[in-house]
Amino acid sequence: MREVFEIAAQDGAARIGELDVPRAGVTVETPTLMPVVNPNLITVDPARFPEFGAEMLITNSYIIKNDPDLNERALDEGLHEMLGFDGAIMTDSGSFQLAEYGEIDTDTEEILQFQRDIGSDIGTPVDIPTPPDSSREQAEEELATTQERLELAETVDVGDMLVNAPVQGSTYPDLRERAGEHAYGTSLDLFPVGAVVPLMNQYRYDDMTEAVLAAKRGLGRDAPVHLFGAGHPMMFALAAALGCDLFDSAAYAIYARDDRYLTVSGTKHLDSLHYFPCDCPVCAEHTPREVERMGDAAREELLAEHNLHVSFGELRRVKQAIKAGNLMELVEARAHAHPRTLDGYRALLDHADQLEASDPASKDAFRYTSADSARRPEVLRHHRRLARLDVAGDDVLLTEGDDNRRFDECWNVVAPFGPFPSALSTTYPLTAETPERMDAAGYEAAAEGIRRLADANPETQFTLAHHDWPATALDAVPERVETVDTSGGD
Ligand code: GUN
Ligand code: ZN
């Protein structure tokens, strides 16, 4: 791996990064979104991509190579001139066609040399995208082939073109992790998580989450990670939270072709829209009925433009959230806009420990917005810290209310975190904004905090003064902690 990627800011596993693309002479800020260009089917002129905020695009070298006209032009003018785009260009290899049609007539060495010759800035070897739910035997065999091809790619003279090292392994997390380790050990530069398109097309965001987090466990933290085929803005926040740095969108064009309109909470069909719920120039200047009455080409182009605007708008929101340290709130908002993104978020929370490891110690105020918030990495981190905090007194009050001098020492209790010394009450994440009407999950998490503290201090007598906690939370408080309800039954 060359030193082309630098992390500038971090929030959980998400990061703002800078990717140097030496051949293009540009540094791209990540997370970035690459519109997919099918050179045979141009919906929005790539020369206009910078208007939307695109710094990079991705196109398919295999399609170009097999089309005599495009082949000649690409070799003659170069890709940048041919597409009219002077940002960074990534090319794919035909692996996707291999997955669709079962065979292709090129190989890693030939297609990498072709990518180099047409002026690609980031090339791709011929990896094998093993579909989800394949047999373990197939996944292992194909992964071995992909790994041979990555090793072959290391030996090809590609000049200063960067090279992708796709991570495969189907729906087997241990294979994904092993594939990540192997890819990271090569001299290749970027690390796309492959064969997740079928998962995303079926809205299996939980399985996608497992695949990405497994690949990330194998890859070093400094590896730039691309989520191959991730183009729907409803999942950008989740994908960024998993630690993905590059996305590519064919969706903006494919969806526009059949009158589908992207939003951050799902896809709408044009004929179901009475109003455009968006402030992009297309939506501000037209009504759905006007767009519907246009000719096919004009309608498709306008919808594709909206789709790009909404995608880049969400990308900016994701980046702002990473900088502010509140990406998890955005992930949660998106999760609650669609049941399947909620599955993805819940799968991510199953791995709160993996995210906790790279979470900054302090950031924007923690906001508790649903029962799922109780499982966030910040809560887990506080619970782990409880075992290390000093308890001085023999008889300690843990209270949601005021100090009480009858006790040697008094700690505050705030759901979902649980207990903490009052001196920490102005420090992150205990400055959390929480609802007045806390749910059972929040109190249960606070009880887990009490359990950790009690376990770490077996000699200390603890009393919990709580305000009408639900039975499920009180049941989770260790027996030896005395509990007092201070609500007076109101
Ligand atoms: N495009 C979408 N998924 C993949 C993949 O797994 N490999 C390659 N090379 N391209 C893709
Ligand atoms: Zn719009």
| Per-residue confidence in pLDDT tens, the chain, 490 aa | 678 999 999 999 999 999 999 999 999 999 999 999 999 999 999 999 999 999 999 999 999 999 999 999 999 999 999 999 999 999 999 998 998 888 999 999 999 999 999 999 999 999 999 999 999 999 999 999 999 999 999 999 999 999 999 999 999 999 999 999 999 999 999 999 999 999 999 999 999 999 999 999 999 999 999 999 988 999 999 999 999 999 999 999 999 999 999 999 999 999 999 999 999 999 999 999 999 999 999 999 999 999 999 999 999 999 999 999 999 999 999 999 899 999 999 999 999 999 988 888 888 899 999 999 999 999 999 999 999 999 988 999 999 988 777 899 999 999 999 999 999 999 999 999 999 999 999 999 999 999 999 999 999 999 999 999 999 999 999 999 999 999 875 4
Contact criterion met (CB below 8 Å) for 109 and 149: no
Looking at the DSSP assignment, which residues form a beta bridge with residue 21?
A: 26
Atom of ligand 1 nearest to the CA of 94: 9
**The ligand 1 atom nearest the CA atom of 193:** 6
Strands 418-421 and 409-414, sheet pairing:
antiparallel
Q: How far apart are CA 477 and CA 299, in angstroms?
A: 60
Query: For residue 251, how far is its CA from the centre of ligand 1 (angstroms)?
Result: 15
Catalytic residue among 20, 67, 92, 364: 92
- How far, in Å, is the centroid of ligand 1 from the Cα of 477? 49
Strands 14-21 and 191-193, bridge-based pairing: unpaired
Nearest CA to ligand 1 atom 5: 194
Give the integer Cα–Cα distance in Å for 307 and 255: 8
CA distances from 308 to 168, 237, 292, 334 (A): 28, 16, 19, 18
- Asked if 420 contacts 391 with a C-beta cutoff of 8 angstroms, the reply is no
As a whole number of angstroms, the distance between CA 147 and CA 125 comes to 10
Q: Which residues contact 436 (CB under 8 A, 6 or more apart)?
A: none
**Nearest ligand to the C-alpha atom of residue 306:** 2
User: b/e map of 409-435 (b: 16 or more CB within 10 Å)?
Assistant: bbbbbbbbbbbbbeebeeebbbebebe
For residue 302, the CA-to-ligand 2 centroid distance in Å is 9
pLDDT at position 230 is 87
- Report the C-alpha gap between 190 and 228 in whole angstroms: 11
Answer whether 54's CB lies under 8 Å from 35's CB: yes
* Per-residue confidence (pLDDT) for residue 1, from 0 to 100: 64
Pocket test residue of 96, 175, 188 for ligand 1, highest count of atoms within 8 A of CB? 96
Kindly write down the DSSP assignment for every residue of 11-67, as one continuous string: ETTEEEEEEEETTTTEEEEESEEEEEE-TTS-SS-GGGHHHHT-SEEEEEHHHHHHS
Cβ distance 325 to 247 under 8 Å?
Answer: no
Instruction: Assess whether 67 carries a catalytic annotation.
Output: no
Ligand 1 pocket test target in 61, 98, 108, 127 with most atoms within 8 Å of CB = 127
User: Taking a C-beta distance cutoff of 8 angstroms, is the pair 185, 220 a contact?
Assistant: no
Compute the CA torsion angle 37, 41, 47, 51 (nearest 10 deg): -70
Q: Cα(7)–Cα(15) distance, rounded to whole angstroms?
A: 6
Which residue has the CA at smallest separation from atom 7 of ligand 1?
A: 194
Q: How far is the CA of 145 from the centre of ligand 2 (A)?
A: 43
DSSP code of 190?
B
Nearest ligand to the CA atom of 281:
2
Element (H, E) at 411: strand 409-414
DSSP SS3 for 477 = coil
The pTM for the full model equals 0.95
Give the position of tokens 């939270």. Answer: 241
Contact in structure between 226 and 245 (CB atoms under 8 Å): yes
Q: How far is the CA of 90 from the centre of ligand 1 (A)?
A: 12
Residues with CB under 6 A from ligand 1: 92-93, 95-96, 124, 127, 129, 166, 194-195, 197, 228-229
Judged by DSSP in three states, 296 sits in helix
Annotated binding site for Zn(2+): 278, 280, 283
Alpha carbon dihedral 97, 81, 57, 101, in 10-degree steps, equals: 0
- Mark residue 115 as left, alpha or beta (left: phi above 0; alpha: psi -120 to 50; beta: remaining): alpha
Q: Which of 88, 82, 148 is nearest to 118 (CA)?
A: 82
Cα(91)–Cα(163) distance, rounded to whole angstroms? 10
| Residue 5 three-state SS | strand
CB 462 within 8 A of CB 483: no
Q: Are 46 and 36 in contact (CB under 8 A)?
A: no
Tokens of 374: 């109780």
φ, ψ of residue 439 in degrees (nearest 5): -95, 170
Which helix or strand (DSSP H or E) is residue 262 part of? strand 260-263
Structure tokens at 475: 């049941």
